[in-house]
């Protein structure tokens, strides 16, 4: 990855560089080549293939500045960063220029004077495409000087320049991003008076620093990102600025569990040693994604804030780490992730969802467990028949007699006063042996998954218990964030009522 061996303007001309090409035309040319080959520049962005990406490609072909509008965790910044691949690998500029002056169309006084003085001997340097990308997070303390520039009194004093001399100017991040891509994230957080300073840059190419009259038609592709929530909670995009951004593109969350799962697998930071030690079965991988799906339609979660894709990424990482911790506590033996391990995933949920008033009343922890319960119920239905389906069968049908409820022996076992404690840190053998105690549980799994191995049998048995609990056929309680106790649903209700009565007596 070495730059071309061209060091002067004269050499540049000899090698066929005979004119300036704008960054938008450059991106357009490279995008056309990719489209012709049915390739996409956004290879690492999943789920946008038929929605957002075609909109972006149309905008870039039109040489538009772009505003990505969407909730948090919808890959807005990722889309902007991927555009770097549409730039030429190397770009020549006048050596020493602060604004990456094109040798054939210099903007700054420095470059103009240098070319006038040296002509074809003007020194040339090269910018790699990765150096032609600038990004700024909009915060309330961002100033016009930060973005555009200001007079530098120290520079003026050191070089004995008058404040009226253009060489006394310090250019901001936008002029320094000339001939590249510049991104402003969370645009509504930028104060309105700062947004006004961008008007001329977007439309006419003028920049104004203090009292200087500068005509600098900057060559920049601008990309902005914004969250609709920001319009009401923190700020807004001023109308004249929004009018100057030619294409506004709406992003979205993954539309299917499969796409969400692929994103999680791509983005989760799982070490090689963790992969060797922990196996994550399909049930658990699906359950991670289902939690986000349930959160995005929960009445306790603020849907205007959205539920970031970072929830499933963090949840998957915590799931693996929970199982890894158990493995090391049991001598470093390889293990498989379990549903009980999702107790360790709860911190990934509570920090990633904004609650509405009812959710705040419930408490973040309770909402997280409720989302987990709903997710387990949904996944359970994908692997086993719903318990309710055995209640709806006609009783007096000789041709099609009702099928026996395979879950009844399990329910009866708990109804006889038995309890089962399943702990997170149990070894795999102890985990399976404890599940084998439940009458009828092994038979249910073998009925529907006769070819399953011992490891998966244990996970299926655990899923059946959690599923029956979510259908309120048995009781389930969290034990000190380290496991679950399963018992009879009626007995648990009676215990709860008895405890409440005792509490009432104590209050009296």
> What's the pLDDT at 211?
61
**Digit-coded pLDDT (tens) for 153-165:** 666 666 666 656 6
Q: What pLDDT is attached to residue 395?
A: 63
**Where is pLDDT greater, at 507 or 306?**
306
Segment 451-477 shows an average pLDDT of 94
What sign does the CA torsion over 488, 490, 495, 499 have? positive
Q: What tens digit of pLDDT does each residue of 174-232 get? A: 988 999 999 999 998 888 888 888 887 887 766 667 666 666 788 999 999 998 875 54
- Are 145 and 236 members of one domain? yes
Residue 507 lies in a domain: no
CATH number of the domain encompassing residue 299: 1.10.8
| Banded pLDDT at 116 (limits 50, 70, 90) | very high
Q: Are 376 and 459 contained in the same domain?
A: no
User: What is the per-residue pLDDT for 508?
Assistant: 35
Residues 185, 56, single domain; the answer is yes
**Residue 451 and residue 321 share a domain:** no
Checking if the pLDDT of 49 tops 80, the result is yes
Task: Assess if residue 389 is contained within a domain.
Answer: no
CA–CA distances in Å: residue 99 to residues 17, 105, 112: 20, 12, 12
Burial 82-108 (b: 16+ CB within 10 A, else e): bbbbbbeebbbbbbebebbbbbbebbb
Boundary residue ending a domain (203, 223, 250): 250
Would you list the DSSP string of 119-184?
GGG-BEEEEEGGGGEEEEE--TT--HHHHTEEE-HHHHHHTT--TTSGGGEEE-HHHHTTTEEEEE
Residues 435 and 374 in one domain: no
pLDDT at 400: 66
**8 pLDDT higher than 80:** yes
Question: Which of the listed residues 383, 417, 451 is the one where a domain comes to its end?
Answer: 383
Q: How far is CA 262 from CA 48, 208, 292, 362, in A?
A: 13, 47, 14, 32
In a domain, 127, yes or no: yes
**Is 196 within a domain?**
yes
Find out whether 237 and 187 touch, Cβ atoms under 8 Å.
Answer: yes
**pLDDT greater than 60 at residue 497:** no
Residue 24 lies in a domain: yes
Q: Is residue 327 part of a domain?
A: yes
Q: Which residue has the tokens 């030690």?
A: 277
Same domain, 194 and 276: no
In this structure, are residues 149 and 175 in contact, taking their beta carbons and an 8 Å threshold?
yes
Please say if the pLDDT value at position 473 is more than 90.
Answer: yes
* 462 and 379 housed in the same domain: no
Lowest mean pLDDT segment, chosen from 203-207, 456-460, 498-502: 498-502
Confidence at 503, pLDDT banded by 50, 70, 90: very low
DSSP count for the chain of H helices, then E strands = 24, 16
Mean pLDDT, the chain, whole residue set = 87
Residue 499: the pLDDT is: 44
pLDDT attached to residue 230? 55
Does pLDDT of 470 surpass 90?
yes
Residues 330 and 197 in one domain: no
Q: 237-294: per-residue pLDDT in tens?
A: 888 888 999 999 999 999 999 999 999 999 999 999 999 999 999 999 999 999 999 9
Q: Kindly tell me if the per-residue pLDDT of 500 is higher than 70.
A: no
Residue 102 sits in the same domain as residue 207: yes
Q: What's phi and psi for 462, nearest 5 deg? A: -65, -40
Quick one: pLDDT band at residue 506, thresholds 50, 70, 90? very low
Residue 392 lies in a domain: no
Count of domains observed in the chain: 3
**pLDDT at residue 172, as a whole number:** 84
- 501, pLDDT greater than 60: no
Q: Do 417 and 337 belong to one domain?
A: no
pTM, rounded to two decimals: 0.83
Would you state the pLDDT for residue 466? 96
Q: Is 393 domain-assigned?
A: no
Contacts 24+ apart (CB under 8 A), 470-474: 470/373, 470/374, 470/376, 470/377, 470/380, 471/377, 471/386, 471/387, 471/388, 473/387, 473/407, 473/411, 474/410, 474/411, 474/414
Q: Report the alpha-carbon distance of residue 241 to residue 187 in Å, rounded.
A: 10
Q: Is residue 502 scored above 60 in pLDDT?
A: no
**CATH number, position 211:** 3.40.50.300
Which pLDDT does position 247 carry in this prediction?
Answer: 95
Average pLDDT over residues 23-34: 96
- pLDDT score recorded for residue 507: 41
pLDDT digits (tens, 9 = 90+) for 338-383: 999 999 999 999 988 888 877 777 788 899 999 999 999 999 999 9
Domain stops at, among 321, 354, 383: 383
pLDDT > 70: percent of the chain: 87
What domain range is 287 assigned to? 257-383
Clarify whether residues 235 and 297 are in a common domain.
Answer: no
Which of the residue ranges 50-64, 109-123, 215-229 would you say has the lowest mean pLDDT?
Answer: 215-229
Q: Is the pLDDT of residue 496 over 60?
A: no
Whether residue 266 is found in the same domain as residue 361? yes
Average pLDDT (81-106) is: 93
Q: Is the pLDDT score of 30 beyond 90?
A: yes
Predicted confidence at residue 348, as pLDDT, reads 92
């Amino acid at each position: 990855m070495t730059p071309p061996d061209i060091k002067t303007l004269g050499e540049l001309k000899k090698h066929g560089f005979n004119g300036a090409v704008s960054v938008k035309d450059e991106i357009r040319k490279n995008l056309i080549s990719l489209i012709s080959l049915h390739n996409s520049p956004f290879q690492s962005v999943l789920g946008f293939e038929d929605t957002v990406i075609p909109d972006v490609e149309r905008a870039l072909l039109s040489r538009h500045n772009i505003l990505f509008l969407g909730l948090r965790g919808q890959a807005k910044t990722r889309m902007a960063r991927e555009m770097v691949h549409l730039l030429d690998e190397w770009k020549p500029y006048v050596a020493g220029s602060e604004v990456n002056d094109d040798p054939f169309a210099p903007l700054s006084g420095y470059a103009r004077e240098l070319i006038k003085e040296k002509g074809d001997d003007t020194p040339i340097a090269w910018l790699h495409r990765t150096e032609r990308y600038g990004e700024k997070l909009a915060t309330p303390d961002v100033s016009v000087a930060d973005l555009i520039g200001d007079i530098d009194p120290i520079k003026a004093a050191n070089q004995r320049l008058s404040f009226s001399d253009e060489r006394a100017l310090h250019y901001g991040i936008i002029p320094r991003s000339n001939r590249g891509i510049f991104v402003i994230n969370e645009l509504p957080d930028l104060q309105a008076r700062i947004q006004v300073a961008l008007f001329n840059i977007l439309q006419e190419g003028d920049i104004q620093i203090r009292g200087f009259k500068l005509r600098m038609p900057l060559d920049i592709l601008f990309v902005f990102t914004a969250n609709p929530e920001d319009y009401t909670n923190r700020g807004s995009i001023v109308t004249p600025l929004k009018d100057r951004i030619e294409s506004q593109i709406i992003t979205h969350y993954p539309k299917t569990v499969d796409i969400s799962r692929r994103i999680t697998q791509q983005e989760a930071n799982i070490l090689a040693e963790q992969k060797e030690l922990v196996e994550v079965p399909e049930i658990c991988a699906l359950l991670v994604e289902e939690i986000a799906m349930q959160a995005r339609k929960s009445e306790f979660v603020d849907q205007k804030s959205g539920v970031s894709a970072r929830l499933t990424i963090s949840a998957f990482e915590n799931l693996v780490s929970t199982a890894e911790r158990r493995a090391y506590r049991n001598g470093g033996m390889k293990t498989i992730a379990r549903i009980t391990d999702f107790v360790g995933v709860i911190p990934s949920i509570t920090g990633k969802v904004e609650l509405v008033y009812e959710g705040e009343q419930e408490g973040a922890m309770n909402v997280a467990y409720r989302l987990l319960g709903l997710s387990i119920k949904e996944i359970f239905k994908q692997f086993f028949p719903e318990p309710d389906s055995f209640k709806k069968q006609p009783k007096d049908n000789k041709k099609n007699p009702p099928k026996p409820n395979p879950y009844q022996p399990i329910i009866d076992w708990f109804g006889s006063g038995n309890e089962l404690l399943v702990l997170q840190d149990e070894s795999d053998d102890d985990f399976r042996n404890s599940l084998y105690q439940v009458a009828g549980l092994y038979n249910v799994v073998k009925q529907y998954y006769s070819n399953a191995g011992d490891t998966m049998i244990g996970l299926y048995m655990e899923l059946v218990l959690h599923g029956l609990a979510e259908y309120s056929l048995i009781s389930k309680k969290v034990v000190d964030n380290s496991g679950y106790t399963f018992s009879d649903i009626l007995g648990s209700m009676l215990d709860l009522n008895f405890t409440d009565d005792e509490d009432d007596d104590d209050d009296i």
